[in-house]
Amino acid sequence: KNQVEQSPQSLIILEGKNCTLQCNYTVSPFSNLRWYKQDTGRGPVSLTIMTFSENTKSNGRYTATLDADTKQSSLHITASQLSDSASYICVVSALGGYQKVTFGTGTKLQVIP
């Protein structure tokens, strides 16, 4: 069964600090992995998309890494800002025709002053 597990479930950090969110998946055969940011009460917004051949991708202060061998991904946030407070969702797609997309339950990040 395809699964995506994210850790930690929630995280509180001080403004200006860095943090790393984890995503482990069992989705197979792997196609791509995406990280989304979701502000409370809003729809998710894509941060990065990574395919099998990519192991690092950056979007401003967000850097995602992918290890397809160990089926792990991480999202690193540098110099956090109050606006980074949100849920971060890892989404993994499998190959195979129709949609085979598995969502993680997300990491809720709170950045405090």
Partner 1 sequence: KAGVTQTPRYLIKTRGQQVTLSCSPISGHRSVSWYQQTPGQGLQFLFEYFSETQRNKGNFPGRFSGRQFSNSRSEMNVSTLELGDSALYLCASSLASAYNEQFFGPGTRLTVL
Is 98 a binding residue for partner 1 by CB under 8 A? The answer is: yes
Nearer to partner 1, 11 or 15 (CB): 11
**Min. distance of Cβ 43 from partner 1 in angstroms?**
3
Residue ranges in 22-61 that form contacts with partner 1 under rule CB under 8 A? 31, 34, 36, 41-46, 49
Residues in the chain: 113
Is 93 a binding residue for partner 1 by CB under 8 A? The answer is: yes
CB atoms within 10 A of CB 105: 12
Of 85, 103, 86, nearest to 94 by C-alpha is: 103
Torsion of CA 91, 10, 73, 88, to 10 degrees: 40
Residues with Cβ < 8 Å from 97, sequence gap 6 or more?
Answer: none
Is 11 a binding residue for partner 1 by CB under 8 A? The answer is: no
Nearer to partner 1, 11 or 101 (CB): 101
**Site size toward partner 1, by CB under 8 A:** 20
Nearer to partner 1, 53 or 98 (CB): 98
